[in-house]
Amino acid sequence: MFRPDPPRPLAVVLGTNEIASAVAVLLTRAGQAVVLAHDPNPPVIRRAMAFHDALYDDVAVVEEVLGRRADRCVDIAPVLALDNSVAVTRLGLLDLMAHGRIDVLVDARLHKRRQTPDLRHLAGIAVGLGPGFLVGANCDVAVETRPAVPVRPVTAGRTEVADGVPSPLGGVGRERFVYSTVAGRWRSAVEIGKRVFVGFPVGHLDGVPVVAPMDGALRGSVRDGLEVPAGVKLLEIDPRGRNARWTGLDERPRRIAEATLAAIRLRAAPLASGRILTYARDR
């Protein structure tokens, strides 16, 4: 059993991206013991806003919460016993479920086109973020994350279908990203946050140079050495000049995380037992 001592409600967040990490930060502040379970596809690019790089023993801190690698179930409890720490693991959900009850399960992978599995009955409360969720069919409660509509809890019905339109950043949309045209190994020595200019070679995909599409700060990049499939984001440029940001909780992930906590509270409210969740408000 990998619950911390003293015991706290256990939350498992599927994903290690910046949205999963924002959810983990707010759940931790709300008194939960949090485990993030890695999903390899799509690869994480906003790594300085996420706990993802803890999987490689790099320092991964998001707003004073530290992500620590846990390769085995026995490694998780010592991490969860530490203040302001979350466990980051490659263990699958079935591996984690085999070691005890999960109080809250949040699917923060934001798979846009995959079939979404039924998460109900896998935890006390199952929350689905983004497209592909239908309350009462594959989750207990959901959160709408489509950029074109307000972020909000969904307690009945389904979340909207992904439209492939990224949220704007400094007035720039899809054109700030570079996508992989083929599958291959990504190599890059350029650090996130570095100032780059249009045409600057940020990395190579299977030996072919991949250049910055515009001037700005490198906001995100796939980790060096990873094999990536075709059609995924390789890098992102923040065009906002001095207002560029690539660390901490960004506005949209924070709003999604806040809506996730609100959704959990809405779902928990009708439950008779107070042992499932006790959330600290407005910490």
CATH assignment of the domain containing 203? 2.40.50.100
Kindly state whether residues 37 and 157 are assigned to the same domain: yes
Q: What are phi and psi for residue 259, nearest 5 degrees? A: -65, -30
Domain membership of residue 110 (yes or no) is yes
Tell whether 2 is covered by a domain.
no
Q: How confident is the model at residue 126 (pLDDT cuts 50, 70, 90)?
A: very high
- 263 and 181 fall within a common domain: no
Asked whether residue 278 is assigned to any structural domain, the reply reads no
**Pairing between strand 141-144 and 125-129?**
parallel
Within-domain flag for 169: no
Together in a domain, 105 and 68: yes
Backbone phi, psi, residue 97, to 5°? -65, -30
Closest CA to 256 of 13, 9, 7, 6: 13
Q: Which residue did the predictor score with more confidence, 172 or 1?
A: 172
Which structure tokens are listed for 246?
A: 């690539």
Distance CA 156, CA 23 (A): 21
Q: Are residues 35 and 70 both part of a single domain?
A: yes
Q: Please, which pLDDT band fits residue 282 given cuts at 50, 70 and 90?
A: very low
- Residue 156 and residue 219 in one domain: no
* Residue of 47, 1, 23, 7 whose CA lies nearest to 235: 47
- Domain shared by 178 and 255, yes or no: no
Residue 194 tokens, joined: 């570095």
Predicted confidence (pLDDT) at residue 38 exceeds the cutoff of 60: yes
Cα–Cα distances in angstroms (integers) from residue 161 to residues 95, 132, 147, 178, 214, in the given order: 30, 7, 11, 23, 29
Shared domain check, 227 and 109: no
pLDDT of residue 241: 94
Is residue 98, in this structure, part of any structural domain at all? yes
Same domain, 219 and 131: no
pLDDT digit string, tens, across residues 76-101: 999 999 999 999 999 999 899 987 78
Q: Same domain for 139 and 23?
A: yes
- Exposed / middle / buried, residue 112 (Cβ in 10 Å: 0-12, 13-18, 19+): middle
Spatial neighbors of 23 by CB under 8 A, at least 6 apart, are 13, 106, 108, 129, 256, 257, 260
Domains held by the chain: number: 2
- CATH number, position 134: 3.40.50
Regarding whether 27 and 116 lie in a shared domain, the answer is yes
Between 228-237, 242-251, 261-270, the lowest mean confidence (pLDDT) is in 261-270
Amino acid identity for residue 51 in this structure: F
Q: Is residue 167 part of a domain?
A: no
What is the span of the domain harbouring residue 152?
10-162+251-268
Average pLDDT over residues 64-85: 94
Q: What pLDDT is stored for residue 271 in this prediction?
A: 58
Instruction: Verify cis geometry, omega within 30 degrees of 0, for the bond prior to 270.
Output: no
In a domain, 244, yes or no: no
Taking a C-beta distance cutoff of 8 angstroms, is the pair 145, 160 a contact?
no
Whether 215 and 79 share a structural domain: no
* 274: in domain: no
Query: Are residues 178 and 150 located together in one domain of the fold?
Result: no
Confidence of residue 4 (pLDDT cuts 50, 70, 90): low
